[in-house]
Structure 1
Amino acid sequence: MGCSSSSTKTRKSETSLKAALIIQNWYRGYKARLKARQHYALTIFQSIEYADEQGQMQLSSFFSFMFENYAHVHKEELELRHQFLESEQDMRDRLDYVDLIDVPDSYNGPRLQFPLTCTDIDLLLEAFKEQQVLHAHYVLEVLFETKKVLKQMPNFTHVQTSPSKELTICGDLHGKLDDLFMIFYKNGLPSESNPYVFNGDFVDRGKYSIEILMILCVSFLVYPNDLHLNRGNHEDFMMNLRYGFTKEILHKYKMKSVLILPMETNRDYDTDSTHNKVGVTFNAHGRIKTNGSPIEHLPKHEWEQIIDILWSDPRGKNGCFPNTGRGGGCYFGPDVTSKILNKYQLKMLIRSHECKPEGYEICHDGKVVTIFSASNYYEEGSNRGAYIKLCSGTAPRFFQYQVTKATCFQPLRQRVYTMESSAIKILKERVISRKSDLTRAFQLQDHRKSGKLSLSQWAFCMENILGLNLPWRSLSSNLVNIDKNGNVEYMSSFQNIHIEKPVQEAHSTLVETLYRYRSDLEIIFNAIDTDHSGLISMEEFCDMWKLFSSHYNVLIDDSQVNKLANVMDLNKDGSIDFHEFLKAFYVVHRYEGLMKPDVTNLV
């Protein structure tokens, strides 16, 4: 009986072990599939983000074109504006700006005392935690004081560490105030014994860019030798127009025409003006001047160096080649990194500029570190944030975090589903904005006029028209209907989604085009709308569209544009509320459950 009992136990043990291995293998496969879907979602977010940045770089050339031609169309109006801007030039002194804005007794927000101390940092942090807005008077004082100190400092700062003094390096924050609060909570406030480097991209995208900028500037003024601010590609006037910082200022501050002008002073830490690549200059007072203006432009090679510094990314391939993803800067390989580090006797490059799932990434044989401090950058649960601590004689230490309430207790399955749904939604919006072009491409491939294409043909059309390097085959199940033979019903690419027309008479191609270029158009009109009233005259609207269509070679009947503009002028006052106009071109998702969280889809 003893042998029989032992044999039975052995068989049960073997069965349990086999079951455990089966469950383990299934779970590993399940996690791997979830991770793959998470990776695809992040790839969608990043590809669309970089495509938008590419458009932003291209918009620079349009601004040069626009103002050169617009000067001929509205010469008298521009002369009046020039006189107005010249009169503003007399108000250069700090007090001329600050004295324009009084702080009323009723203001119950933080009141800063100059010269600033660590008490003011605490005061500011506590106020922002309560979602108070710093009065414009203090914002101006901080900006002018920061500008004065920055102009006295060298372009390159040398920082030393010691066994008792570590250095903390933070990456992109992009207006995500909770991430900055988390960093200070975990790592302590800046001080002489706790120095920081913030690696640019403080603003845009998030809702609290001005609060982050104020905290960093006040901390810098209190500890100018222990808190260091590097410029990122989003510390730029044009980027702020597209990605939200300008809108945030206009929303939070009523004295906008006073506040925005000196705000732009700090977009470039080394000069009094920021320049775009092709000749339009936004000077220290936010003014636009075209070629031939008294302001001298940076030489082309110098500006290209700035673009390379602010826009480039490391890649695994050796050499240096154009950054086709972003449309600016370059990709640089391990050989380039080694050459530069050896030339200047450096050990490592710590940079930011790219969202990483874990908040950081190490590449080029450990010689390049990317640090990204904005958690949940694309979507709740999409990525962690991180910062680095450096100490003399030790390896860099990485600290990760994720500031979120909604997803802390959600399983990976639900987090991936949320990310995937959001990613597919914005991808669908990109698809519908090119419906006419995609339909023509599909039909050219559909020689039998069957309404179906092979998966390869469909993927080719999607990548060729949208210009997004995505795993289209893997994404196809979430985007189109596929028959039992594996062929794609290509018109299902547009199902359950459309652009809501502002007027029924508008031509579909015009609606798609306006939607596709809505961000570019908004930037253009914000530049023209010098008083920031949000109103564009009918004549301005029509003239600017003609220039826009001419530059981009977009063939739209002018009569359609004129008709649309007239219909949109609801109160017939000769002006268009452009922000409301843009909102009229919103994308409607008739079926929000693009990917139901069922068992078959998730496992």
Structure 2
Amino acid sequence: MGDEEGLGAHDLQDIEIIMEDKEGLVCGEHSDMQDKHVDMELGEPTQDPISWPQNGEITLEWIVNLMETFKWASWNKSLSEFASIMPHFVVEELITKASHILCQEPNCVKIQCDNNTEVVVIGDLRGQYLDLLGIWESVGLPSDKQLFVFNGNYIDRGKSSLELFLVLLAWKVFLPHRIYLLRGNHESSDISEICGFLKEVNRKFPEHGQTVYRKCLEVFAELPLASIIADCVYTTHGGLFRSEGITSSQSFGEKEIQDDHGNKSGRKKQKITTTLCLGSLDELHQVSRFVQDLSAKDAILTDVLWSDPTTESGLTENNRGDAGLLWGPDCTEAFLEHSKLKVIIRSHEGPDSIACQKGLKNMLEGYSTDHEVESGKLHTLFSAPDYPQHTSKDYKSKGAYAILKPPNFDTPEFVSFEARKRHEAEIKTISFAQQSDSAATSSGADIAFRASGIATSPSWIISLADDVGTPAQISEASKVEGSPLPSDLQCRNLTSPITSTS
């Protein structure tokens, strides 16, 4: 490809990804990946449009062509031209293939590792496809000796949410035991509809957008909720969760009012206080996760995807989005001790969110250590650099990923990285603006949030272009290791649960 729209050749340089493990053998699960040295240059695609493999089996070459096609299109195609390079029926077939695998995985996937294996954990990517390619350029692709665990939030806010998610699904189909995709809070119908993903899909598939979107919602609901790596590291999107059967304390009820003589004189509203108890992995394993809409009745499911750590002890309701919990260092200690784990790696909060949490470290390097307790540590990991982009508050943050290495896997090595250079048209396409609380409350978007038990809708909007430079503003299966978890690794109900009365 030559220079286009004023871009220099260095801006369009190819990405070379070397997939070679320490023994020189790559991905032993597939015979077509047995070459001792595999060079992959992501440049101009070899075919246009993408077609489904004739025998229905995804190959390494097919995935590489998919990756390079999406990269090339991000620089050369508008959103409305996407269907010309990736027909809707190919998207639907890929999602169906991945669904057959994901639906068989347990809520909490156990990942066994040996002394020749490393695990890379990746946090929120938020549709920043070029940054995903940058990570793979740095550490290599999934292989027999390198596993990947993604903590969710693949979509929304970035231009290429669909491309990013489809590439990850393709790798999941190709190497189901080498890549694990967990669910984030944006992988739900209410949030993805409001925050940009639905609009992106409809613009990329004007005639078949609703069909593709529904297929995405189906596979979102099948994504596992957490992982346990090497018997010592727990990863999830949001964090810890309440015990089953405990209801929310953020509700109001009516109480009879009596006069001085004990006679009823009316009723008044008062806040209902409820004691919250920390949940266990046993309870997480029993959750019915196959729902597209998150609601208050799915308390544990919502907690896992929405909860945040805090410096204050105890377990309380989370005001951010009015969903999930806030948990303190004492809860981290209790969870690690009773689960016989050493590390928690969660995501969910970028530099904009963590800045609102008093006492917690910033996320400018893409990660933070939030709790250090006797049994281990809690880390937050965010893999979308320069986030949020093009707002009045520019954090100029880095993204990060974590590498877990043998023999113990319990000392994450965090690697920070800068954002990949973006096409000028992409920068124009992605813009965020602040919305007043009153405007958000009166919008139809807020109704969808409240229907899901979330009282306050987000205070930002996103612009997606019909064509390059023309923004239109909108409101923003295989058998799986560890299924079920061995009894000696499952967490008992806490004998001394952490409680807090709001």
Task: Indicate the residue corresponding to 1:462 in structure 2.
Answer: none
Displacement, 1:298? 11
Out of 295, 309, 312, the position equivalent to 1:314 is 309
Out of 365, 390, 396, the position equivalent to 1:358 is 365
Q: Does 2:202 align with 1:250?
A: yes
The answer as to whether partners of 2:171 and 2:179 remain within 8 angstroms in 1 is yes
Distance of 1:249 and 1:197 partners within structure 2: 25
- TM-score calculated relative to the size of structure 2: 0.55
Displacement, 1:247? 0.4
Displacement, 1:296? 11
The answer as to whether partners of 2:182 and 2:223 remain within 8 angstroms in 1 is no
Distance of 2:178 and 2:336 partners within structure 1: 25
Out of 128, 149, 154, the position equivalent to 1:202 is 154
Q: Does 2:400 align with 1:383?
A: no
Displacement, 1:155? 2.4
The answer as to whether partners of 2:403 and 2:412 remain within 8 angstroms in 1 is yes
Task: Indicate the residue corresponding to 1:368 in structure 2.
Answer: 378
Distance of 2:202 and 2:295 partners within structure 1: 33
The answer as to whether partners of 2:189 and 2:292 remain within 8 angstroms in 1 is no
Task: Indicate the residue corresponding to 1:55 in structure 2.
Answer: none
The answer as to whether partners of 2:134 and 2:420 remain within 8 angstroms in 1 is no
Out of 162, 179, 183, the position equivalent to 2:135 is 183
**Amino acid of the residue matched to residue 189 of structure 2?**
F
Unaligned 5+ residue runs, structure 1? 1-106, 272-276, 279-294, 408-421, 435-512, 528-550, 553-581, 586-603
| Aligned-residue CA RMSD (Å) | 3.5
The answer as to whether partners of 2:367 and 2:400 remain within 8 angstroms in 1 is yes
The answer as to whether partners of 1:388 and 1:397 remain within 8 angstroms in 2 is yes
Distance of 1:300 and 1:220 partners within structure 2: 28
**Amino acid of the residue matched to residue 344 of structure 2?**
L
Distance of 1:300 and 1:250 partners within structure 2: 25
The answer as to whether partners of 2:188 and 2:292 remain within 8 angstroms in 1 is no
**Amino acid of the residue matched to residue 369 of structure 1?**
H
Distance of 1:327 and 1:518 partners within structure 2: 17
Out of 52, 65, 73, the position equivalent to 1:112 is 52
Matches within 5 A, 1:277-296: none
Out of 54, 65, 68, the position equivalent to 1:126 is 68
Task: Indicate the residue corresponding to 1:230 in structure 2.
Answer: 182
- TM-score calculated relative to the size of structure 1: 0.47
Distance of 1:257 and 1:517 partners within structure 2: 26
Distance of 2:214 and 2:401 partners within structure 1: 33
**Amino acid of the residue matched to residue 377 of structure 2?**
K
Which structure has the highest strand share of the two? 2
Distance of 2:292 and 2:154 partners within structure 1: 26
Deviations 1:364-405 (A, max 9, x none): 116101110011111266311000000123621111111144
Distance of 1:363 and 1:391 partners within structure 2: 21
Other structure's SS at 2:401 match: strand
Q: Does 2:213 align with 1:260?
A: yes
- With CA pairs under 8 Å and 6+ residues apart, which has the higher RCO, 1 or 2? 2
Displacement, 1:161? 2.9
Q: Which moved more, 1:112-121 or 1:336-345?
A: 112-121
Displacement, 1:584? 11
The answer as to whether partners of 1:161 and 1:390 remain within 8 angstroms in 2 is no
Deviations 1:281-318 (A, max 9, x none): xxxxxxxxxxxxxx999998861111111100111111
Distance of 2:199 and 2:292 partners within structure 1: 27
Other structure's SS at 2:48 match: coil
Q: Relative to structure 1, is the Cα distance of residues 130 and 397 closer, same or farther in structure 2, using a 3 angstrom cutoff?
A: same
**Amino acid of the residue matched to residue 137 of structure 1?**
F
**Amino acid of the residue matched to residue 372 of structure 1?**
F
The number of residues matched between the two structures is 306
Q: Relative to structure 1, is the Cα distance of residues 179 and 517 closer, same or farther in structure 2, using a 3 angstrom cutoff?
A: farther
Unaligned 5+ residue runs, structure 2? 1-46, 225-246, 249-289, 351-362, 424-430, 457-471, 476-502
Distance of 2:293 and 2:216 partners within structure 1: 21
**Amino acid of the residue matched to residue 399 of structure 1?**
V
Distance of 2:474 and 2:420 partners within structure 1: 32
Other structure's SS at 2:321 match: coil
**Amino acid of the residue matched to residue 365 of structure 2?**
E
Larger radius of gyration: 1
Distance of 1:258 and 1:239 partners within structure 2: 18
Task: Indicate the residue corresponding to 2:264 in structure 1.
Answer: none
The answer as to whether partners of 1:162 and 1:391 remain within 8 angstroms in 2 is no
Q: Relative to structure 1, is the Cα distance of residues 304 and 521 closer, same or farther in structure 2, using a 3 angstrom cutoff?
A: closer
Matches within 5 A, 1:30-429: 108-113=48-53, 114-131=56-73, 133=82, 134-253=86-205, 254-269=207-222, 303-355=298-350, 356-365=363-372, 367-379=377-389, 382-392=396-406, 393=408, 395-405=411-421, 426=434
Other structure's SS at 1:191 match: coil
Q: Does 2:445 align with 1:520?
A: yes
Distance of 1:376 and 1:267 partners within structure 2: 26
Task: Indicate the residue corresponding to 2:488 in structure 1.
Answer: none
Displacement, 1:111? 2.2
Distance of 1:164 and 1:270 partners within structure 2: 27
Other structure's SS at 1:318 match: coil
Distance of 2:291 and 2:110 partners within structure 1: 30
Q: Relative to structure 1, is the Cα distance of residues 382 and 299 closer, same or farther in structure 2, using a 3 angstrom cutoff?
A: closer
Q: Which moved more, 1:332-341 or 1:125-134?
A: 125-134
Distance of 1:153 and 1:335 partners within structure 2: 31
Distance of 1:205 and 1:328 partners within structure 2: 20
Distance of 1:315 and 1:182 partners within structure 2: 31
Deviations 1:158-188 (A, max 9, x none): 1133332110000001111111011111111
Distance of 2:52 and 2:447 partners within structure 1: 35
Displacement, 1:353? 0.3
Displacement, 1:109? 2.2
**Amino acid of the residue matched to residue 382 of structure 1?**
K
Task: Indicate the residue corresponding to 2:269 in structure 1.
Answer: none
The answer as to whether partners of 2:181 and 2:223 remain within 8 angstroms in 1 is no
Distance of 2:218 and 2:294 partners within structure 1: 21
Task: Indicate the residue corresponding to 2:277 in structure 1.
Answer: none
Other structure's SS at 1:189 match: coil
Distance of 2:52 and 2:211 partners within structure 1: 20
**Amino acid of the residue matched to residue 228 of structure 1?**
Y
Displacement, 1:257? 3.5
Displacement, 1:583? 6.3
Distance of 1:297 and 1:201 partners within structure 2: 14
**Amino acid of the residue matched to residue 255 of structure 1?**
H
Which structure has the highest helix share of the two? 1
Distance of 2:291 and 2:155 partners within structure 1: 28
The answer as to whether partners of 2:58 and 2:173 remain within 8 angstroms in 1 is yes
The answer as to whether partners of 1:241 and 1:523 remain within 8 angstroms in 2 is no
